[in-house]
Copies of this chain bind each other. A is one copy, B any other.
């Protein structure tokens, strides 16, 4: 069986061939969520899931946000802002203009009072893109003053998963911020409050289509003096396995990128969905996702995501095994091997050559 058949079978059996993510009109019961989505490792979008959150009306209002987050009630009024030259943090980038070998570039992280953060996020004409986010439970740490505006957890998800979220993160960005393809080892409930998020999703079985390779880790440094970024390799050097595919290659690189990653560009299309304000995406553990966003009238996109611990069960073990298989096969080689094998061993059925037949 070819790995291609696996990609198709997952779609035929479980995910559907339309490429559409199922949309529920109201929150599922915990059992329904567990049975129809978590257990099957299948995404869904839940509309009308957070209608009761004050955030839905409050957070379109800059002065409300500034007032809430400037009060001295919070013990640490600074928030974390990620600065990049192009909105792409935790993404592949050429190491220098001269050296186009790719590294895994993390943002320049700066801590600042919230009003300053909001003004940086709004200044989209600058030579940087600012994204207020920190995937360290930042909503409960840096933004606790906003906690009355949301639920502390997603009740039907907590009941289903039998635990409370391990981390709750807030994301405040503009239309330039983009998240490159990756996967997380969490069950993710991703609630959009203002603006829209556009996800591309690929199931874990499509792992070979992501061309995960090791890239040297590097960090952007932003200089207030030169108003420019430099990229510095981590010392000591370390490598991060990351997806090589950019699903939206720019004009001049398009042909080259499509030829470099044929399994992605010639295989089944990713699941594509837009999460509107008031909706939650259930993004199952281990699914690859790529995110872009469209702003609200203030030019901003605000979202809160809840990470719940995943089960490291048989699905995870299957994934690790699949990922360990080198692919694609050089077909001519494999055919040759099979013939040799037959000749050499007059082999029993138990001893055929390994490979994906």
**Chain A residues within CB distance 8 Å of chain B:** 1, 3, 5-6, 9-10, 13-14, 30-32, 34-36, 38-42, 159-162, 203-205, 211, 213, 311-322, 324-330, 333-334, 337, 340-341, 344-345, 347, 349-357
Contact = CB atoms under 8 A, between A and B. Distances in A.
A317 B13 CA distance: 8
Contacts of A341: 330, 333
A29 to B, nearest CB: 10
Interface of A is mostly: helix
Given A34-B31, A162-B31, A13 B312 contact: yes
B317 A330 contact: no
Contact of A330 (B31, B211, B321, B351): B351
A332 to B, nearest CB: 9
Number of copies of this kind of chain in the complex: 2
Contacts of A311: 14, 35, 39-40
Contacts of A160: 31, 35
A32 B351 CA distance: 42
Contacts of A320: 1, 6, 9
A70 B334 CA distance: 64
Given A1-B325, A41-B314, A330-B353, 13 more contacts: A30-B31, A31-B34, A31-B160, A32-B162, A35-B161, A39-B39, A39-B311, A40-B311, A315-B315, A330-B347, A334-B353, A334-B354, A354-B354
